[in-house]
A and B are shown apart, each in its own frame.
Chain A
Amino acid sequence: MSDQVAQLFEERLARYQATIALEPTDRMIVAGSGSNYFAEIYAGYSRQEIMYDMNKWIAAESKFAEDFPEIDLLRAGRIWGPMFESVGFKLYKLPGRDISLDTDFQFVEGEWMKADEYDVLINNPVEFMMEYRLPRVLGEFKEKGSVRSYMAFLKGGMAFALMGQLMREKALNLEKKYGIPQPFQGAMLTPFDALADGYRGLQGIMIDLFERPDKVLAACEALIPDLVNCAVAVADPLKRYPIFMPLHRGNHPFLSPRQFETFYWPSLYKVISLLIEAGYTVRAYLEGDWTPNWHHWNKFPKGKILCDVDNKADIAKAKKEIGGTVCLAGGIPDRMFIFGTPEEIRARVKELCETAGKDGGLILNGGCAIPYLTKPENFRAFIDATLEYGRYDDTIKPKLKKPPATPAGGPVLGHPPRVITPWEVRLQELGGVMGDEKMIKDVWEMLERRAFVWLHFWDW
């Protein structure tokens, strides 16, 4: 990597970090989307090719970075098909497999946990996964104990390791060749969404709110340490990038304000607070309309969170109501990228730069993403107009944030990352070791912890 590219990377990352921290910057971030769907297909590959062929995925990102060299962040594409194939994961319909190759992959909501399984989820999450939920969501694990089910776990583990490598390669390609940082690294669902999206399904969770509210609360509480530990395990070890949290059922009008405050908010507040205390920032997608619920975000410390505001909500109102605490992204309706003209995009960017974005703390974006069907000329106008109107002060040069020290004992005190078989059990089986026990114990626990993260990988 040339020094110039390294410098560019550092400038961009520092600008992104300062923007999230609500500190002064020289200018607005250009195309600072967390999810750039347009970039995924811009190079001409089908959705299936991007999802299944990592080389094409990397080539698509390279092509995008070359044709739009001004962009400050890029994450194109989201999931790697082979990971899902390895175990026959049933929660997604994939392009080229279940749906046409030019359609988006889509989430399949269902009742993957029964109403009477709360206690086992709360008291014994590993049993819950292995005995109840995974046989339902992993098609290859349907017949536990069969040769095919053993192979599924083997393939799934290999795919998980491979995916980690490939994602790293993809990020390094953008960093080293184009000086482009990632918008986030690592992802998690808030406990209520994990329960609602991936476990009980919409019908189930809504009924539970009325019929077994205490169980819902206890399950959200019980999920906190594991979900936080799993998110941190795949987040950027240097803590340069935020951790991604797509937020779903806090979206109005799913829950009443009272239900939101009772069931959704407490565990969301706790997980984000734990991540912040552990030195991370968070990029949360407020999917749908969060207007009646977003005032709660003012309870967080200033400058630690970036919230993407969706098409349904008003960015100016968000800026007024929570912009003093969190950085915001959004403001350009998806349809303007798709159906609008470059002139309309320019006018909208100019307006946002002069209003909601005039004092910083705003990243221009579509509704939580740049849409697939964006016209290239509109994207070009988006970049040019941001560079033209989004200037604050060229003399400001934000500095990279130093990575905060990882707190001793992990992010959740009293809850170290979970293992399935503790070292002590293994040691007893061995009847003691001849040499350095710690050396063996560390490896044992590292693999055990990764295996537990793998179990939660299938939450959504």
Chain B
Amino acid sequence: MAALSELTQALMDLRKEDVISAVEDLLKKQTPPLEIVKALNEGMIKVGDRFAAGDYFISELIYSGHIMKDAMIRLDPLFEQTGAGDAGEKVVIGTVQGDIHDIGKNIVTMLIKNAGFNVIDLGVDVSAERFVASLKETGAQALALSCLLNVAIPAMKNVVEALRAAGIRDKVKVIVGGQPIDEEVCKYVGADYYGTDAPAGLRICRQIYGAG
């Protein structure tokens, strides 16, 4: 449907007014809301691709999220509470204890959510116990730990040790990311993967779940 692809394109190009009028137009024409959401998601994935390719920046990523949110205000009431948003492979994510920074974590969350993962975002200053509890509860096989401060590195190590103590270390792949993270820190922490930028976080999640 041409109108749906136009909607995708408008979101990719960050044309907010066009996105909103296209959504309203499609709704008037009785297009199933799910189709509209799919087209929007497609646009968000393309925005993520542009970001990964270095053509878009955080400003554009955040603005695309803002447009999406505006569009969803019109669509959300049309869906019943089916928990449809919970589909997809699960990734637990959070900023580790002692660190309240969330910009990096939020960008990764946005990228992997757009790509279809079911992201369980525990927020900031998250204790090792909360990570363990969430992994047990959700059965997620991927855990993404974020930090900005290098004093939070030991907290990352604590999480990995807590997974071991809880007997679930071999069931979960641990990704670390954030300003102070590199290969050596990854080794020190005992994580499986590290990412030096947000697109790397998405690549690794796909790799863990064997999706490319």
Instruction: List residues of chain A with CB under 8 Å of any chain B CB.
Output: 93, 99-100, 103-104, 106, 108-109, 202-203, 206-207, 209-211, 252-256, 259, 288, 311-312, 333-335, 338-339, 371-373
Is B14 located at the chain interface by the 8 A CB criterion? yes
Is B161 located at the chain interface by the 8 A CB criterion? no
Cβ-defined partner of A209 (8 Å) among B63, B154, B188: B63
Are A210 and B63 neighbours in the complex by a CB distance under 8 Å? yes
Nearest 8 pairs of A and B residues by beta carbon: A206-B62, A103-B98, A256-B57, A254-B58, A253-B57, A206-B59, A106-B100, A210-B63
How far apart are B101's CB and chain A's nearest CB, in angstroms?
Answer: 7
Pick the interface stretch among B71-79, B86-94, B178-186. Answer: B178-186
Task: List chain A residues, Cβ under 8 A from B99.
Answer: 106
Is B206 located at the chain interface by the 8 A CB criterion? no
Is B103 located at the chain interface by the 8 A CB criterion? yes
Cβ-defined partner of B57 (8 Å) among A104, A255, A288, A338: A255
Is B150 located at the chain interface by the 8 A CB criterion? yes
A373-B98 contact in complex given A206-B58, A210-B14, A311-B179, C-beta closer than 8 Å: no
> What separation, in Å, do the CA atoms of A202 and B2 have in the docked complex?
35
> What separation, in Å, do the CA atoms of A109 and B124 have in the docked complex?
13
Is B166 located at the chain interface by the 8 A CB criterion? no
How far apart are B163's CB and chain A's nearest CB, in angstroms?
Answer: 21
Q: Report B87-131 residues with CB < 8 Å from chain A CB.
A: 98-101, 103, 125
Are B182 and A253 neighbours in the complex by a CB distance under 8 Å? no
A99-B16 contact in complex given A203-B62, A259-B57, C-beta closer than 8 Å: no
Are B16 and A371 neighbours in the complex by a CB distance under 8 Å? no
Task: List chain B residues, Cβ under 8 A from A254.
Answer: 57-59
Is B23 located at the chain interface by the 8 A CB criterion? no
Instruction: List residues of chain B with CB under 8 Å of any chain A CB.
Output: 14, 16, 51, 54, 56-60, 62-63, 66, 98-101, 103, 125, 149-151, 153-154, 179-180, 182, 184-185, 188, 197
How far apart are A198's CB and chain B's nearest CB, in angstroms?
Answer: 15
A253-B58 contact in complex given A106-B101, A335-B180, C-beta closer than 8 Å: yes
Are A334 and B150 neighbours in the complex by a CB distance under 8 Å? yes
Chain A residue at smallest Cβ distance from B181: A335
How far apart are A341's CB and chain B's nearest CB, in angstroms?
Answer: 12
In addition to A333-B182, A371-B151, A373-B154, 9 A-B residue pairs with Cβ atoms within 8 Å of each other are: A106-B149, A206-B62, A207-B62, A209-B63, A252-B57, A253-B57, A254-B57, A256-B57, A338-B150
> What separation, in Å, do the CA atoms of A373 and B98 have in the docked complex?
14
Cβ-defined partner of A339 (8 Å) among B63, B188, B197: B188
Are B54 and A253 neighbours in the complex by a CB distance under 8 Å? yes
Task: List chain B residues, Cβ under 8 A from A108.
Answer: 100
Chain A residue at smallest Cβ distance from B51: A253
Are A311 and B180 neighbours in the complex by a CB distance under 8 Å? yes
Chain B residue at smallest Cβ distance from A253: B57
How far apart are B67's CB and chain A's nearest CB, in angstroms?
Answer: 9
* 22 A-B residue pairs with CB within 8 Å: A99-B100, A103-B98, A104-B149, A108-B100, A203-B62, A207-B66, A209-B59, A252-B57, A253-B57, A254-B59, A255-B57, A255-B59, A288-B179, A311-B179, A334-B150, A335-B150, A338-B153, A339-B184, A371-B150, A372-B150, A373-B150, A373-B153
Chain B residue at smallest Cβ distance from A251: B58
Are B60 and A256 neighbours in the complex by a CB distance under 8 Å? yes
Are A99 and B150 neighbours in the complex by a CB distance under 8 Å? no
Task: List chain B residues, Cβ under 8 A from A259.
Answer: 57, 59
Task: List chain A residues, Cβ under 8 A from B57.
Answer: 252-256, 259
